[in-house]
Structure 1
Amino acid sequence: MKRVVLAIVGFAIIIIFIVAYLFNKNKSTQDNLSNRTLIATVNVAPIKVKTMSKYIVAYGIVESKPGTANTVSLNFDATINKLYVVDGQNVVKGQLLFSVIPSPTVQSQLMQAENSLNSARENLKIVQEKFKLHLVSKQDILNAQNALNQARIIYDNLKKTYIDKVYSSIDGVVTKINYTQGSSVASGSPILSIADVKNIAIKCGVEPEDVNFLKPDLPATISLIDYNRKITGKIISISNIIDPATHLINIYILPDTKKDLILNSYVEVNIPILTKTGLGVPKSALLYEDGHYVIYTVKNGVAKKHVVNVILKNEDYALVSSPDLTDKDLVVTQGAYELKNNMNVKVQK
C-alpha cells in the first residue's frame, strides 16, 4: 500500500513539472510572437553633423566707449545762468552749451587782478615820466615793466579761467545734464556729459560666476530690440569689480557697425563661451530614462535603443555622443515613448 501511495505522489509531481514546463514555454513563445508582430508607427529624421555653441545671455545699454565721453565742468564756483541744450540733443564742436555767473569770490579775485593791472600801468607811466626828469634809473623802468607784465599774466590767466560761456569741444550727443538754470555749481562738479557718437559701445552686466568664461576680443551677437535686427561685435573690456547697483560685473562690447545704435537704447547680447561639433538630433528625439538620455534609431524596420551623452542643447537640436551612432542613422522623432528595444516599427512617410 505504501508503495502505491509513493508511486502516485511521484507520478503527480512529474505531471506538475511537465505542465509547468509546457506553460512557460507557451508563454515565452507568445511573448516572442508578440514582440515580433507588434508594430509601432514613428516619424524619423536623419542624424546630422552639427556645430553648436553655449551662450551667455546679457542685457545692456548703448553708451560711450570708456574714456571717450566728454564731461564738462568748471574749475571755479559759479551759478548756471542759462542752458542752451537739452538731454539727447545733437551738438557740434563750438556750439554754445550754457552760460554762468562766477561766484562773488571769483568776481572779487578777477576785480583785484584787473585793479592790479591798471595800477601797474599807471605806475609804469609815472616811472617813465620820472626817468625823463632823471629822477629814477633805467633799472626802475625795467622793474615797473616787469611788474606790469606779471599783473597782465595773472589777469589774463584768470580771465581765461573764469569764463562766462562754455562751448562744446566735440561733435556728439548730450547724454546727461546734472544742473538746472539758477543752480550753484562747485568747482570740478560735472555739469553735463557729451557722448562722441563715433565712439560708442555696449555696456552690459554678466553674473560673477560667468565672467571666468569671458576674455577680450571674444565675439558677441547684439540684438537690437527696437529694430528686430542683429549685429556682431567683440568684448573690449571686463570690469574687475561688481557693480553695487546691479550686483553684476560690467563688460563693454564694441559693435562692428554703428548703424541703428541709439545712445541709451537697450540691447540683448549673446556671447558664445563653448563651441562643439558632433551628431545633432532633434530635441524631440530625446527620452529621459533611469537617470540618462536615450534615443531610438530605425534600421530595416526595427527600432534600436541607444544611451547617449548630451553635450549641448538649443531650442531645436541636441548635440549627442554614443559609440554606436553615425550621421547615416535615422532617429525617431515622434512615437519613441511607445518603443522597446528591437521592436518592429513602421516609418510614417
Structure 2
Amino acid sequence: MTKKSNLSNKKWHLVVIAGLSLLAATLLSRCTEPTQAAVATPPAPTLPVIQVSQEPVTTYRDYTANVEGSKDIEIRPQVKGILSHIYVDEGAYVEKGQLLFQIDPSPYKQAYQQASASLASAEASLKVARINADRLEPLVQRKVVSDVELQTARASYEQAKAAVAGAKAAEASANINLNYTRITAPVAGYISSIPYKMGSLVGDNDDQALTVLSETKQMHVYFSMSEKDFMDFKASYTGASLEEKLAKVPPVELILADGTIYGQKGKVELVEGSFNKDAGAISFRASFPNEHGLLRSGNTGKIRLFGQAVHGILIPQGATFEIQDKTFAFLLTDSNKVKSVPVQIAVKKGNYYVLSEGLKPGDKIVLQGLDRLKNGMQIAPEAVSMDSLTKANPY
C-alpha cells in the first residue's frame, strides 16, 4: 500500500512539472514575439537626389514698376464755351491732328467777323489819311497852306496805321479763339477717360482736363531701388560717373502683371538726382518701344535688371530648409546616409539659389522629403539630373 502511494505521488509530480514547463514555454513565446516585431528595421525611404555642379549663372533682381506713356498730355480747352461735340470715345486710338472735341463756335465766329469788319474800317481810314497827307505836300511847297496842316495830316496817317495794326491783332486773336473751339490731338496716342458730356460748360480755368492723351510709341517704366541696392548697382558697373555706369547697364526686361515677359527689351535712361527721404529709395526710368500698342499708361509690372554672370553652385530652393535663420541642405554621404550641412546663399534666381559656400561640385543632395529626414538616416537615392529639373522649372 505504501509503495503504490509513493509511485502515485511521483507520477503526479512529473505531470505538474510538465504542465509548468509547457506554461512557461507558452508565456515565453508570447513575450518574445512582440519584441522581435518591435526591433524589425523599416525599409529605407526612396527619395530623389541631384548631383550639384558649378556653373555660370546670370543673376537678376526684380523691382516693382509703373508704366506711363512717354507723353501723357492733358487736353484742356483754351476758350470758354459749351461742349457741342465729342468725336472720340474713351480708350480710342487717335492720330496726330485728329479732331477730338468741338466747343460751340458761334460767339467766336461773331467776334471774328466783328474784328474783320473793324480791320476793314481801319484800313479804309488809313487810305483817307494817306490821301490827305499826299494832297497837302505840294500845297505846302507852294506855300498855299501852312506846314502845320501837313504835319497834322501826317500824324493822322500814322494814327490810322496804328489803328490798322491794332485791328489786325484783334482779328488774329479772334481767329485764334475761333480755332481753339476745335480741339485736336497734338500727338498720336490713346484717349483716357472723358469726364465731360456734350452740353457741358467748359473753360480754360477748369480744374479737370477734358481728357488725357497718352503717346504710346515709346513707354516709360518707372521703378525704385533701396539705398543698399543702389550701392550694389553702382558697384556692378565700371565708369567714372553715374552716366557712364548707366551706359553699360544691359537691356532690361518688363514682367507684366500676368507674369509674362514683354516681347521687347528696354534701356535704363535716367536716374533721379536724390533719394526720397520718406521712402528711402531712388527712382529710375527705363524706356521700352511700343509699336503695337500693347502697353498702356497705368499698367503695372516688374523691371528685371540683370547682373553680371557669377560662378556658383545652383540648387533648387525646395532642396533647402531653415533653422534659426540659417539655411541647410541634406548631403548624401557614404552608405547612402544623409547629413544636414549649412549653405551660404550668394543670390536668389527665380526658384533657385546660387551658393557661395556649403557644397562643392559633385556633392549629392536630397531634393524632396526633407521633413522626414534626420542626420545619419539611410535612404534609397533616386538620381535626378539637374538638366531635366531646370527644363521642367527654368530659372
Q: Same fold (TM over 0.5)?
A: yes
- Contact map agreement 1:71 1:194 (CA 8 A) in 2: yes
Q: Which has the higher strand share?
A: 1
* 1:152-167 pair list within 5 angstroms: 152-163=168-179, 164-167=181-184
Match of 2:201 among 184, 197, 219: 184
Number of aligned residue pairs? 305
Quick check: 1:263 aligned with 2:289? no
- Runs of at least 5 residues in structure 1 that lack an aligned partner in the other structure: 1-33
- Contact map agreement 1:128 1:141 (CA 8 A) in 2: yes
Quick check: 1:43 aligned with 2:48? yes
- Contact map agreement 1:73 1:188 (CA 8 A) in 2: no
Deviation at 1:47, TM superposition (A): 0.9
- Contact map agreement 2:47 2:367 (CA 8 A) in 1: yes
- Contact map agreement 2:219 2:290 (CA 8 A) in 1: no
Separation in structure 2 between the aligned mates of residue 171 and residue 346 of structure 1, nearest angstrom: 66
Separation in structure 1 between the aligned mates of residue 369 and residue 102 of structure 2, nearest angstrom: 76
Tell me the SS of whatever aligns to 1:120.
helix
Residue 222 of structure 1: aligned partner: 254
Residue 124 of structure 1: aligned partner: 126
**Is the alpha carbon distance of 1:45 and 1:102 closer, same or farther for their aligned partners in structure 2, counting shifts above 3 Å?**
same
Quick check: 1:84 aligned with 2:119? no
Q: Which has the higher helix share?
A: 2
Output the TM-score relative to the length of structure 1.
0.67
Separation in structure 2 between the aligned mates of residue 293 and residue 250 of structure 1, nearest angstrom: 33
Counterpart residue type for residue 103 of structure 2 = V
* 1:180-329 pair list within 5 angstroms: 180-187=197-204, 189=206, 190-203=209-222, 212=230, 219-225=251-257, 228-231=260-263, 232-237=265-270, 252-256=285-289, 258-259=291-292, 261-264=294-297, 266-272=299-305, 277-289=311-323, 292-303=326-337, 304-313=339-348, 316-322=351-357, 325-329=359-363
* 1:103-122 pair list within 5 angstroms: 113-114=115-116, 116-122=118-124
Tell me the SS of whatever aligns to 2:157.
helix
Residue 338 of structure 1: aligned partner: 373
Once the two structures are superposed, what CA deviation does each residue of 1:147-193 show, in whole Å capped at 9, x if it has no partner? 32332233223322442323333333323434332222332654333
Output the TM-score relative to the length of structure 2.
0.60
CA RMSD of aligned residues (A): 4.3
Tell me the SS of whatever aligns to 2:88.
coil
**Is the alpha carbon distance of 1:121 and 1:321 closer, same or farther for their aligned partners in structure 2, counting shifts above 3 Å?**
closer
**Is the alpha carbon distance of 1:53 and 1:291 closer, same or farther for their aligned partners in structure 2, counting shifts above 3 Å?**
same
Tell me the SS of whatever aligns to 1:348.
strand
- Contact map agreement 1:80 1:185 (CA 8 A) in 2: yes
Separation in structure 1 between the aligned mates of residue 323 and residue 132 of structure 2, nearest angstrom: 113
- Contact map agreement 1:222 1:267 (CA 8 A) in 2: no
Rg: which structure is higher?
A: 2
- Contact map agreement 1:301 1:347 (CA 8 A) in 2: no
**Is the alpha carbon distance of 1:211 and 1:183 closer, same or farther for their aligned partners in structure 2, counting shifts above 3 Å?**
farther
Q: Percent identity?
A: 19
Residue 25 of structure 1: aligned partner: none
- Contact map agreement 2:217 2:290 (CA 8 A) in 1: no
Tell me the SS of whatever aligns to 2:342.
strand
Tell which deviates more after alignment, 132-141 or 68-77. 132-141
Deviation at 1:280, TM superposition (A): 1.7
Once the two structures are superposed, what CA deviation does each residue of 1:258-296 show, in whole Å capped at 9, x if it has no partner? 446142463421434876542122333323346533323
